Amino acid sequence: MAQTCGNVVVHLIFSTKLRQPLIAPDIRSDLFAYLGGIVRELRGKALIVNGTCDHVHMLIRIRPAQSIAELACVVKANSSGWIRKKGHNVFAWQAGYGVFSVSESNVPAVTKYIAAQEEHHKRQSFQEEFVAFLKKNKVAYDERYIWD
């Protein structure tokens, strides 16, 4: 039997629709746990999930054969449904997302960065942070389309 091996770690970032502050403090920890549970159901591992009132960062280890696009779609669809069932009827995620590969040697630094989101965003907006990620990772983008 053939075996496919790999260690695929990605940093997934996505925002609420129009970056509205919809992730209230009273649901935040449950939401982050729920997001990790979705990843677990997809046979991946959420190393850390954190964010603020308007966006989420997830550091995820996935299977080599797993589609990042499919994972992002399932994570966002299932979690938005869960939040709406909790009574937050206007909740929605942005249509897109950002995803960046992370080497195993950088997992501790990215974990630390994600853990410090509240502190980090006292100095920098989500938009500034996201554009900085795109530039750092040499991702071409058109600003007209990244802020849905």
Q: What are the strands of the beta sheet with 98-101, ordered from one edge?
A: 45-51, 55-62, 8-15, 98-101
| pLDDT at residue 111 tops 70 | yes
Provide the pLDDT for residue 118: 87
Residue 23 lies in a domain: yes
pLDDT digits (tens, 9 = 90+) for 48-73: 999 999 999 999 999 998 999 999 99
Mean pLDDT value across residues 103-115: 97
Beta bridge pairs of residue 61: 9, 45
Residue 94 lies in a domain: yes
In terms of residue numbers, what domain contains 130? 8-136
Provide the pLDDT for residue 1: 65
**pTM for the structure as a whole:** 0.92
Cα-based distances in Å from 15 to 12, 66, 105, 110, 129: 10, 22, 27, 18, 12
Residue 12 lies in a domain: yes
Total domains present in the chain: 1
Picking from 31, 24, 11, the residue whose alpha carbon sits closest to that of residue 78 is 31
Q: How confident is the model at residue 114 (pLDDT cuts 50, 70, 90)?
A: very high
Round to the nearest angstrom and report the end-to-end CA distance of the chain: 45
Provide the pLDDT for residue 44: 96
Residue 109 lies in a domain: yes
Residue 147 lies in a domain: no
Q: Please state, in angstroms and rounded to a whole number, the distance separating the CA atoms of residues 58 and 70.
A: 15
Kindly state the percentage of the chain with pLDDT values over 70: 99
Q: Assign residue 107 the CATH number of its domain.
A: 3.30.70.1290
Residue 3 lies in a domain: no
pLDDT digits (tens, 9 = 90+) for 9-24: 999 999 999 999 999 9
Q: Which pair of tokens denotes residue 49?
A: 């999930």
Residue 146 lies in a domain: no
| Winning range, highest mean pLDDT, from 46-60, 88-102, 118-132 | 46-60
Residue 130 lies in a domain: yes
Q: Mean pLDDT score of the chain, rounded to an integer? A: 93
